[in-house]
Amino acid sequence: MDNAIDPPQTPDYYRDLGVSQAANPRAIRQAFKKLALATHPDKNVGESTDTADFRKVREAYEFLSDPEKRARYDRTYFDVQDAWERYYQQEEQLKQQARHREARIAKEKAEEQRRAAEAERLRKIEEERKVAEEKARRERLREEKARQAELRSKEAARKAWEQQQRAAEDRIYQQRAAAAEARSREVAERLRAEQERAALERIKLAEIQEKQDAVRRNWANLRQSGENPSRDDKPSQSSSIPLTVCSHLQFRWPKTNVQAIRALCAICGERRWKWAFVCPECGIFACPVCKEKACIF
């Protein structure tokens, strides 16, 4: 610090311990212990403590602990205290002067920085103006080139569109022709399929009619042979088996289990041990051979 003043040669022991001049030895000892714990380097590991503070506290305590030294010191303490007050006042004035000087320097530096920032701002504004003008010029040039390119592109697009229209018309004509041909083939195929189905139906009806006529003839023969039995004709199994005539030959005769009743075929009289076909209406039984000959289905 500039213009620094030297402190008084005689220390202010009461101020160093933080006690008044009227403090008793006990108060002095307590103040020393408190300050010793706060300033001793070994008690404050990791903290920035100055050994000079601890030495100053210890010196003040050792001096004031001696009654003779304290008595002599008290006789001149008023002058010592006054000298230290003047010292602190001068030191505070110097600090204030230093703060004012630093504030002035900081203000001048801030003003200089402000002027430099303003000059830099104006320079950047000028540069931005020049850049903006150059950008605008390039933008106009780019727009002109883009306009010319757009005109060329529109012309090329118009020609391409005309070609696409002609190609589309050709494709539509070909598609319509192909669709008409496909419809013609589909109609012809549908007509052929309908004709084939009709022919199959006619054949099926003819087969059913033929089979029904054969069944009718078969049953007519069976009735005739039942009404006029020949003496030489005998049943193959038992003469007591009746010949039953069924009129439900158009139905489907299901297959059933006959192990419990040992059913007899109503047509040929064969005894069925396991299964037989049964009429769904009148309940007569038939073996597979007779059922195949008599029934339509």
- Give the strand pairing for 285-286 and 255-257: unpaired
Q: Name the strand (E) or helix (H) holding 275.
A: strand 275-278
* Percentage of residues of the chain with pLDDT beyond 70: 80
Three-class secondary structure of residue 138 per DSSP: helix
Distance CA 238, CA 179 (A): 74
| 237 — pLDDT class (breaks 50, 70, 90) | very low
Are residues 279 and 251 in contact, defined by beta-carbon separation less than 8 angstroms? yes
DSSP conformation class of 40: -
Q: How far is CA 57 from CA 45, 65, 74, 149, 232, in A?
A: 19, 12, 18, 92, 161
Residue with tokens 């050792």: 62
Q: What is the DSSP letter of 259?
A: T
Alpha carbon distance 69, 59 (integer Å): 12
Q: Is 79 helix (H, G, I), strand (E, B) or coil?
A: helix
Task: Report pLDDT for 235.
Answer: 40
d(CA 273, CA 280): 20
Please, which residues bridge with residue 277 across strands? 255, 286
11-23 average pLDDT score: 83
Contacts of 243 (CB under 8 A, 6+ apart): 222, 226, 266, 267
Taking the CA atoms of 43, 49, 52 and 58 in sequence, report the sign of the dihedral they define: negative
**pLDDT mean over 22-31:** 85
Comparing 26-30, 142-146, 171-175, 231-235, the range with the smallest average pLDDT is 231-235
Nearest-10 Cα torsion for 183, 186, 188, 190: -140
Q: First and final CA of the chain: distance in angstroms?
A: 133
Q: Quick: pLDDT tens for 80-136.
A: 888 888 888 888 888 899 999 999 999 999 999 999 999 999 999 999 999 999 999
CA 94 to chain CA centroid, Å, is 70
* Chain segment 212-223, per-residue pLDDT in tens: 677 667 667 766
Tell me the two tokens of residue 74: 């008290």
Maximum separation of any 2 CA atoms in the chain, in Å: 181
C-alpha 134: how far from its chain's center? 48
- Contact between 13 and 62 under an 8 Å Cβ cutoff? The reply is no
Beta carbons of 25 and 17 less than 8 angstroms apart: no
Neighbours of 279 (CB within 10 A): 21
Rounded Cα distance between 191 and 193, Å, is: 5
pLDDT at 15: 85
Q: From CA 36, how far away is CA 41, in angstroms rounded?
A: 9
What pTM, to 2 d.p., does this model score?
Answer: 0.35
User: Is the pLDDT higher at 106 or at 234?
Assistant: 106
Confidence of residue 242 (pLDDT cuts 50, 70, 90): very low
What's the pLDDT score for residue 207?
A: 75
Question: For residue 239, is pLDDT > 50?
Answer: no
C-alpha 15 chain-centroid distance = 73
Percent of the chain with pLDDT over 90: 30
pLDDT score for 104: 92
